[in-house]
Amino acid sequence: MIQTEDFKSIIDQYKVIFFDAFGVIKNYKGMVPGMDETFAYLRATGKEYYIVTNDASRSPKQLAASFNKLGLDITPDRIISSGMLAKEYLDLKVNEGIVAYLGTANSAHYIDYSGLHTLPVSAIDESNIDQVNALVFLDDEGFDWFRDLNKTVNILRRRNIPTIVANTDYAYPLNTQDVAIAIGGIASMIHQIVGKRFINFGKPDSLMFTFAYDQVRKTNPSIGKKDILMIGDTLQTDILGGNKFGLDTMLVFTGNTLPTDAETRITSSGIVPTYICEKAVIG
Amino acid sequence: MIQTEDFKSIIDQYKVIFFDAFGVIKNYKGMVPGMDETFAYLRATGKEYYIVTNDASRSPKQLAASFNKLGLDITPDRIISSGMLAKEYLDLKVNEGIVAYLGTANSAHYIDYSGLHTLPVSAIDESNIDQVNALVFLDDEGFDWFRDLNKTVNILRRRNIPTIVANTDYAYPLNTQDVAIAIGGIASMIHQIVGKRFINFGKPDSLMFTFAYDQVRKTNPSIGKKDILMIGDTLQTDILGGNKFGLDTMLVFTGNTLPTDAETRITSSGIVPTYICEKAVIG
Amino acid sequence: MIQTEDFKSIIDQYKVIFFDAFGVIKNYKGMVPGMDETFAYLRATGKEYYIVTNDASRSPKQLAASFNKLGLDITPDRIISSGMLAKEYLDLKVNEGIVAYLGTANSAHYIDYSGLHTLPVSAIDESNIDQVNALVFLDDEGFDWFRDLNKTVNILRRRNIPTIVANTDYAYPLNTQDVAIAIGGIASMIHQIVGKRFINFGKPDSLMFTFAYDQVRKTNPSIGKKDILMIGDTLQTDILGGNKFGLDTMLVFTGNTLPTDAETRITSSGIVPTYICEKAVIG
Amino acid sequence: MIQTEDFKSIIDQYKVIFFDAFGVIKNYKGMVPGMDETFAYLRATGKEYYIVTNDASRSPKQLAASFNKLGLDITPDRIISSGMLAKEYLDLKVNEGIVAYLGTANSAHYIDYSGLHTLPVSAIDESNIDQVNALVFLDDEGFDWFRDLNKTVNILRRRNIPTIVANTDYAYPLNTQDVAIAIGGIASMIHQIVGKRFINFGKPDSLMFTFAYDQVRKTNPSIGKKDILMIGDTLQTDILGGNKFGLDTMLVFTGNTLPTDAETRITSSGIVPTYICEKAVIG
C-alpha cells in the first residue's frame, strides 16, 4: 500500500485550492464526511478555493444548489465547469442558426442564449437541418439513444459544423460496483464513425485550468501557479491536467483510485501527483 | 475520374470469385441489376463463387433465403459470414455456462448450440451473472440501447470473459444519404470504456478468408490463392483483407466507394485494388 | 478549387494578429514574398501581432534573429514558442536534479536555468540516471538516433518522471516534395513503447494560445478573443487550436495545405477556418 | 502470486504443441534450462511441435541453426516465422520491380527471389524510385536510422505501394533490465507520419496460426484445433492470437510476463490463458 501524507500540513503551504467535485467532495454515497470542516478551515485561514469539474449537465447555479443540499456552503462563483467552456465557445464562434444538442432540456437551458435556437437532436428534421450550425454533447440522459445517436451521425455527415464535447469522461461511478456510460464515451463512438475532429472540453485539457486561473487572478492578481494546489481522484484528468498546467497536485482515495491500485496506476501511466492523501479532510 | 476496366475479361482469368454481399450483389435499392446474369455466367463457365460477408445478424440459411427473394439462386453452402467465425470460436473455446449477447433473438438462435445457454444481456442479473462465460456483439437491433449498453459495461467489469465482436463494421448505409450505427461501432465504444481486448471477427481480418479458402479447397484441393479474385466495395475491409491474404482484388462502385472519391481514398489509405470496375456485372 | 477572400479587408476587422511562422511567414524557399509589407501595414495601422510557433529548437531571441536575416524586423518579445511552455513547466515543476534531453546543445541551452543540470540523453549513465527528474524532446537533430532513442526508452522504463514533448509536429517540409521526421513523431513512437503519458506542448493545445493571449493582455487589457485573428497553414494545429480557443481563424496556401486539397481536407476533418486566403500578404 | 499448474500433465492432453521462441525456449541468458528434455519427451511420446515466432530477421534455416547451437535439435521445417508470411505475400502479390527493405542484408537475402530486385532503402534514389513496388520492414539493425527512416517516409509519400511489417513487436528484451526498439515500433512511427495502411504480419494476427495449422495438417490431416496447445510468454501476441484462432493457450513466466504482474495484466487486458505454468519444462 502506497504511503499517504497529512492533508492539513500540505494545504497550509498553498493560497488557493482547486477541488474536483465527484470523488473528492462528494461521491455516490453523498458528501465525503468531514468536507464541511475542510471548507470551514479554508475560510477561516483566508484561502481561496474553486470547484473545477467536468460536468456539463447543470449550470454553476444548479451545481452550487446541489452542494448546498449536502450541507456545503459553496456559491456559484466558486464553480468552474466544462459546460462553461462550451458556452463560451458558442458565444464566441457561433453567431446564428440552431445549436443541436444531446442531453436533458435542463443542460441545454444552460447554454441557451440570445440569437441562437437551442434544439434537441430529436427536433432536427429536413425543415431545419440546414440551419444547424453547431452540435453539442451535453449529457447521457434526456434522449432516446437508438433514435438520436443514429440521427446525430447523419446530421454530422451532412453538416460540416463545429461539434463540441462538453464532458470528455467516458464513464462515471454509480455505486461501489457499477458505472454508467458518460456522454464523453458516446461522443467518442460518434467521432470514430463520422471521422471528424470534435472540440473536447474538460480536464485534462488546459482550458479548464486557464478558466479557473483567470478567475483567481481577477480577485487577486498576485497569485501565481506555485500558490495553487489541484486536488483530484483521477490520474488521467485531475492530476495530468494540473501537472501540465504547472500546478502542484494531490491524489485522494475517495473516488476513482483505490489505495491498492494507486502505485501500479502511477507507475504504468507515468502520471505522478505531488502528494497522495487518503481524503481531502482535515484531522 | 478514375479509369475502370471490363469486368468479364477480368473474371475470365480466375477460377474462384469471392463476393462481398452488401454493396456488390445488393444494396439498399435491392439486387444490383444484372447480378443474376453474372451468377449464370459463373455457373455456365464452371467457376466457383462464395459470398464472404461481415454479417452476423442471420445464419447462412437465412442469408441464402434473402438472396433467393431477390431472384438469386445462392445456396447456404456458398455463404461465409463473420457470424460463422463467432460460432466456431464458441464451439472451440467456451464449454459451459451462459453466452450473453447483444442482438436480435434471431441472430442469437444462430450461435445457440448444445451445452450452452444463450441469453440476451437484458436477461443477465445477480442470479446468473457468475455463469456468464462469454459475451457476443451480434446486431445493432433487438435491445434497448440505454439499458443494455450500460449493463454490458458492468457485466464486462465484473466478469473477465472472452468478448466477441461478430461484425466489426462501424456503420452501414440505409439509403443514398444516411447510414446507421452498426454493432461494431457500439462494440468499439464499450471496448474503450472497459479497456479490455475484444476478439474481432470479420474482414479485413484474415480468418474470414482462411475460412472461405478452406471451403474452396475441400471441394477442389488444387486451387491456389492466385486462382481467386475478391470483389468488394470497401477499401478498408474487402480490399485490404483480400490483398493481405494474398488474393487479387477488385473494387466496385455499387456501394461505399464513389467513382469521384476512389482515387483520393486509394492514395490516402495506400490500399490499392488489383482492378477497378464500375460493377460486378457482365456486359 | 476553393474560393479565397481578400486578405487586407479581413485583417482590417481585427486588432491583433497571430501568425504561424513556418508556412505563413516563411517556407523552405525563404520569406514568403510580400510579408515585409504586411508587417509594415500592421505597424502603420497600430495592430498588434505575435508569432505563435511549434518550434522548440531555438530561443525567441534566435528565432527573431532568423526573421531579421530574412529582412523582417520582428523582435523576440513578439514570439511565442512551444519551447517557452516547456521552459515554464520545468521552472514550475522540476526543482532539482538532471533534465535529460534529445536535441541540439543549442536547443538545450534555451531551457537551461539555475539549479538544474541539463544533459543530453547520451550523457546519462549508471552514475547519474537516478538524478534524472525530467526528460524533454526538443529537436530531431543533435543526437545519434539508434543509440539515443534506445537509451531514452530505457531511461523512461527505469525513471517514473515527467516527459515533455516541446514540439508535437510529426514531420516538417524540406522542399516541395520531401519532408523530415520531426521530434514529435519520434516522441510518439517512444510513447507507444513505454506506455506512459507524455506532456505535449504546442498547437493545437490551448496552452500556446493562453500564453500568447496573456502576453497581449499585459500590454492591452481591453483586448478580447473576438479582436484576435489566428493565421496558419495547417488545419490540425493552427486552425483547430485557434478555433477551440475561441479565435477567428484564417487558412493560407503558402505551406502545408494546397488549394487543390483544401476543400477535401476541410470536409473530411471537420476543421473549418473562418476565412481562406491565398497568402498573408496585402495587395 | 497467481497459481500455476503442472506442465507435464497439461501437455499430455494435446497432440501438437506450438512454442513461441523468445521467452519460452530461450531468453537473453540462452536456452531455458530443461528445454532439451521437453523436446526429448515430445519426440518420445510422438507429439508434434512447431516454433511459431515473430522473427523476420533470419530464415527458418538460420533460426534452426541458432537452436542447434544452444543444444536443441530443431529442424527448419519445424519453424514458422512472420518472415515466411512476408515472403509469401511478395511471391503472390508483387510480380516485378524493386522491393526496398529496412534491415540487415541477411534478413533481405531471405525474402529475395527470382524476378525481383531486393534493395536496401539506402540504395533507392531518383534513378530507381519509380521501380519500387513494395517496401518491407524486416529488422531494426543494418541501416542508419536517421538517414534511412527519413528516406523511407519520402519513398512512401511518392510511391503508393504495399508496405509490409514482417515483425510487429514494438520492443524486445536485451537483459533483465533493458529493452531495444524493434522494427515494429519503427514501422508504427512511419505509419503515423505517412498515414497509409501497412500490412502487418506476426502474432496475434491469425495468418501466423493459419500457416502453422496448414503445416500440421499436411502431415496429419486428422488434427483439429482442439488437439493443439499454444505456449507463449506474451499475452498480447501468443495468448490473444492463440485464443482467437481457437486454440488452448498456456502462459509461461520465462519471458515478458512476471509471476508478480500476471494477475493484474490478465485482468486489465481481458486476455485469459487456458493454463499458467512457470516454464515449459517437464519436472
pLDDT at A88 over 80: yes
User: Nearest-CA distance from C146 to chain D in Å?
Assistant: 6
- Nearest Cα to A86, choosing from A213, A209, A216, A199? A199
Residue C117 lies in a domain: yes
Q: Sort out which chain C residues have CB atoms less than 8 A from A166's CB and list them.
A: none
Candidates A13, A88, A209, A244: best to mutate against C (most CBs of C within 10 A) is A244
Specify whether A190 is located in the same domain as A214: no
Of A150, A157, A180, the CB nearest to B150: A180
Inter-chain contact C185–D192, Cβ cutoff 8 Å? yes
Among C283, C281, C230, residue whose Cα is nearest residue C35: C281
Same domain as A33, residue A129: no
- Predicted confidence at residue A176, as pLDDT, reads 83
In a domain, B267, yes or no: yes
D94 & D191 share domain: yes
What ipTM score was computed for the predicted complex, to two decimals? Answer: 0.93
Q: What is the percent of chain D where pLDDT is above 90?
A: 86
Give the length of chain B.
283
* DSSP structure class, residue B194: H
Give the helix/strand (H/E) hosting B1.
none
> Is D189 in contact with C185 (Cβ distance < 8 A)?
yes
Same domain as D214, residue D182: no
CA distance C170 to chain D (A): 6
Look at the block and give the residue holding cell 499448474. Answer: D5
To the nearest 5 percent, what fractions of chain C are helix, strand and coil?
A: 40, 20, 40
* Cα(A131)–Cα(A99) distance, integer angstroms: 9
Cell of residue D58, nine digits = 533470419
- Could you say which of C200, C215, C246 is where a domain stops? C200
Q: Could you tell me if A247 and A228 are in contact, meaning their C-beta atoms sit under 8 angstroms apart?
A: yes
Strands (E), B90-139: 98-102, 117-120, 132-137
Helix (H) or strand (E) holding C64: helix C60-69
Task: Give the CB-side neighbour count of residue B57, counting CA atoms within 13 A.
Answer: 13
* H or E segment to which residue D40 belongs: helix D35-44
* Position B213 confidence tier, pLDDT thresholds 50, 70, 90: very high
Per-block average pLDDT, block size 10, for chain C (283 residues)? 87 98 94 96 97 92 94 95 93 93 89 79 97 96 98 96 95 90 97 95 94 93 97 97 98 93 92 97 88
Interface partners of chain D (CB pairs < 8 Å, 3 or more) are B, C
pLDDT in tens, D160-180: 999 999 999 999 989 888 999
Average pLDDT on B104-127 reads 87
Chain centroid, CA C181 distance in Å: 15
Q: Say if the Cβ atoms of A244 and C89 lie within 8 Å.
A: yes
In chain C the first and final C-alpha atoms are separated, in Å, by 21
- Name D66's Cβ contacts closer than 8 Å, sequence gap at least 6: D58
Output the pLDDT for position D113: 67
The C-alpha cell of B80 is what?
461465409
**Grid cell 493454463 — which residue?**
D275
Residue B155 DSSP SS3 = helix
Suggest the residue from D143, D153, D155, D236 to mutate for an interface test with chain C (most C CBs closer than 10 A): D153
Contact predicate A192/B188, CB 8 Å: yes
The C-alpha atoms of residue B222 and residue B225 are separated, in whole angstroms, by 10
For residues C172 and C220, membership in a common domain is answered with no
Sheet order of strands, A199-200 included: A117-120, A98-102, A132-137, A163-165, A199-200
- Of A180, A200, A220, the last residue of a domain is A200
CA distance A195 to A246: 33
Q: C251 with C168: CB under 8 angstroms? A: no
Please state, as a whole number, how many other Cβ atoms lie within 10 Å of the Cβ of residue C261: 14
Q: What is the least distance, in Å, from the CA of A225 to any CA of chain B?
A: 33
Residues A194, A214 within the same domain: no
Tell me the shortest Cα–Cα distance from B96 to chain A, in angstroms: 26
Q: CA of A227: which chain C residue's CA is closest?
A: C92
- Cross-chain Cβ contact C207/A240 below 8 Å: no
| CB spacing of A267 vs C240 below 8 angstroms | no
pLDDT for position A106: 85
Q: Which of C198, C205, C246 is opposite residue A93, by nearest beta carbon?
A: C246
Cα distances (angstroms) measured from residue B261 to each of B2, C268, D8, D198 = 9, 12, 58, 21
Q: Which string of DSSP letters, residue by residue, matches B159-191? A: ----EEES---SEEESSSS-EEE-HHHHHHHHH
Residue type, D188: S
End-to-end CA distance of chain D: 21
Cβ of C181 within 8 Å of Cβ of D154? The answer is no
D157 to chain C: closest CA residue: C178
CB contacts < 8 A, C to D, total 61
Report how many Cβ contacts below 8 Å link chain A to chain B. Answer: 61
What crossing angle do the helices spanning A206-219 and C206-219 adopt, rounded to 10°? Answer: 30
How confident is the model over A164-180, as a mean pLDDT? 92
In chain A, the residue whose alpha carbon lies closest to the alpha carbon of C198 is: A270
Q: How far is CA C104 from CA C91, C139, C188, D151, in A?
A: 20, 7, 19, 21
pLDDT at B110: 79
Residues of chain D contacting residue B161, judged by C-beta atoms under 8 Å apart: 270, 272
Classified as helix, coil or strand, C216 is helix
Residue D262 counted as domain residue: yes
**Phi, psi angle pair for C98, to nearest 5°:** -105, 140
Q: What is the pLDDT of residue B114?
A: 56
Q: Do residues D141 and D187 touch, judged by C-beta distance below 8 A?
A: no
Cα distances (Å, whole numbers) of residue A257 to A38, A234, B249, C162, D260: 21, 6, 50, 20, 21
Average pLDDT in the A226-249 region?
A: 97
Would you say residue A71 lies in a domain? no
Shortest CA gap A179–chain B (Å): 7
Query: What is the pLDDT, as a whole number, of residue B283?
Result: 75
What are phi and psi for residue B275, nearest 5 degrees? -135, 160
Tens of pLDDT, residues B41-58: 999 999 999 999 999 888
pLDDT digits (tens, 9 = 90+) for A98-113: 999 999 998 888 787 6
B215-271 pLDDT per residue, tens: 999 989 999 999 999 999 999 999 999 999 999 999 999 998 999 889 989 999 999
Neighbors of chain A with 3 or more C-beta pairs under 8 Å = B, C
Amino acid at C231: I
CA distances from B194 to A181, A204, C269 (A): 10, 20, 28
Give CA–CA dist D26/D281, Å, rounded. Answer: 12
pLDDT digits (tens, 9 = 90+) for D84-128: 999 999 999 998 999 999 999 988 887 876 567 899 999 999 999
Q: Are residues D48 and D102 in the same domain?
A: no
Dihedral sign from CA coordinates of B183, B185, B187, B189? negative
Is residue A101 domain-shared with residue A196, that is, in the same domain? yes
How many helical (H) and strand (E) elements, i.e. helices and strands, does chain C have? 10, 15
Residue A67 grid coordinates: 452542494
> Per the domain annotation, does C61 fall within a domain?
no
In C, minimum Cα distance to A87 occurs at C246
- The confidence score (pLDDT) of residue D261 equals 86
**Which chain C residues are Cβ-neighbours of D171 within 8 angstroms?**
153, 193
Contacting residues for A131 by C-beta, under 8 A, at least 6 apart: A97, A98, A117
Give the dihedral sign, CA A46/A50/A51/A56: positive
Q: Which residues in C lie closer than 8 A to residue D152 (C-beta atoms)? A: none
pLDDT of residue A116: 75
Residue at which a domain ends, from A172, A200, A228: A200
Q: What is the largest CA-CA distance in chain D?
A: 62
Residues, chain C: 283
Choose among A246, A270, A271: nearest Cβ to C92.
A246
Tell me whether residue D75 is in a domain. Answer: no
Whether residue D154 is found in the same domain as residue D259 = no
Q: CB distance A89–C268 less than 8 Å?
A: no
Total-model pTM: 0.94
- First CA to last CA distance, chain A: 21
* Type of residue at B116: L
pLDDT of B154 over the 70 cut: yes
For residue A114, pLDDT beyond 60 = no
Compare CB distances from D210 to B210, B240, B267 and report the shortest one's residue: B210
Give the three cell numbers for residue D255. Answer: 519471458
CATH number at residue A139: 3.40.50.1000
* Count of structural domains within chain D: 2
| Chain B residues with at least one Cβ partner in D under 8 Å | 88-89, 92-93, 156, 160-163, 194-199, 205-207, 210, 225-226, 236, 240, 243-247, 266-272
Contacts of A189 in chain B (CB under 8 A): 181, 185-186, 188-189, 192
In a domain, A12, yes or no: yes
Does the N-terminal peptide bond of residue D76 adopt cis geometry, omega within 30 degrees of 0? no
Cα-Cα end-to-end distance for chain B: 21
Return the DSSP state at D235.
I
| Cβ separation C270–A197 shorter than 8 A | yes
Q: Taken in order C108, C113, C114, C116, is the CA torsion positive or negative?
A: negative
CB contact under 8 A, A181 and B158: no
Identify the band that residue A175 occupies on the pLDDT scale cut at 50, 70 and 90.
confident
Indicate yes or no: CB of A185 within 8 angstroms of CB of B170: no
> Collapsing DSSP states into helix, strand and coil, what is residue A243?
helix
- Give the per-residue pLDDT at B42: 97
Q: Please tell me whether residues D22 and D50 are part of one structural domain.
A: yes
| Residue B103 distance to chain A (closest CA, Å) | 13
Instruction: Tell me the residue range of the domain where C234 lies.
Output: 7-54+204-277
Beta carbons within 8 Å of A221's beta carbon, 6+ residues apart: none
Residue whose grid cell is 493582455 = C217
What is the C-alpha separation between C266 and C236, in angstroms, rounded? 10
- Are residue C209 and residue C137 in the same domain, yes or no? no
Q: Say whether C15 sits in a helix, a strand or coil.
A: coil
- Residue A47 sits at φ, ψ, to 5 deg, of -90, 145
Residues of chain A with C-beta less than 8 angstroms from the C-beta of B153? 171, 179-181
Contacts of B71 (CB under 8 A, 6+ apart): B31, B36
Same domain membership, residue C222 and residue C164:
no
The rounded distance, in Å, linking the Cα atoms of B182 and B184 is 5
From the CB of residue C120, how many other CB atoms can be counted at a distance below 10 Å?
18
CB count within 10 Å of CB D221 equals 8
Question: Rounded to 5 degrees, what are φ and ψ at B79?
Answer: -110, 125
Cell of C142: 543533435
Mean pLDDT of chain D: 94
**Closest residue, chain D, to B192 (C-alpha):** D269
Using alpha carbons, select from C8, C182, C234, B73 the residue that is nearest to residue D192. C182
In a domain? residue D179? yes
Return the biggest CA–CA distance within chain A.
Answer: 62
Chain B residues touching residue D163 (CB < 8 angstroms):
270
- The radius of gyration computed from the CA coordinates of chain C, to the nearest angstrom, equals 19
Cell numbers of C131, please?
538524478
Task: Give the closest of B93, B236, B244 to D243, CB-based.
Answer: B93
